[in-house]
Amino acid sequence: MTNRVLALLTLTIALALCVSPIAAHHGSSVYDTKLTTYKGTVTDFQFMNPHSEVWFDVTGADGKVEKWTGEAPSLTTMARLGWTKSIFKPGDQVTFTGNVAKSGTKIMRLRKVVFPNGKEMMIDRGEDYAE
């Protein structure tokens, strides 16, 4: 639990340092408007309010592993769209599509996921107050 909290804290520190003082906490302006897709291996998943977080490893062509975070809307919103706390399990091979943070921090706001069984799910950001 501590490692996950530290990981989340670290990435929010890195992200926040690059964020202007007037940027909104939940603003979408700190994320790239174009979509990026990664195939990753899930390492952890926190189903919670106000944001759900899934951590995944992306192995590059050179064999280097990058650690990424996919951020989804709140538990209450995603539960209504079919998510449960078991929707991601460590080891799952998932394709994540989203808006990557402009700062270079390895976090993306999820827009679409493709589950190991091939099922696709769009994530409508407008459905949640956090955009």
Contacts with other proteins by CB under 8 A lie at 5, 8-9, 12-13, 15-17, 21-27, 48-51, 74-76, 79-80, 125-131
Least Å from the CB of residue 58 to other proteins:
24
Between 50 and 58, name the residue whose CB sits nearer to other proteins. 50
Q: Which is nearer to other proteins, 36 or 76 (CB)?
A: 76
At its nearest, how many Å lie between other proteins and the CB of residue 82?
11
Task: Say which residues have a Cβ less than 8 Å from residue 55's Cβ, sequence separation at least 6.
Answer: 4, 7, 42, 43, 44, 45, 67, 68, 69, 70
- Return the half-sphere exposure (C-beta side, CA atoms, 13 A cut-off) of residue 71: 21
Q: Which two tokens stand for residue 97?
A: 């599509």
Which of 36, 49 has the CB closer to other proteins? 49
Instruction: Tell me how long the chain is.
Output: 131
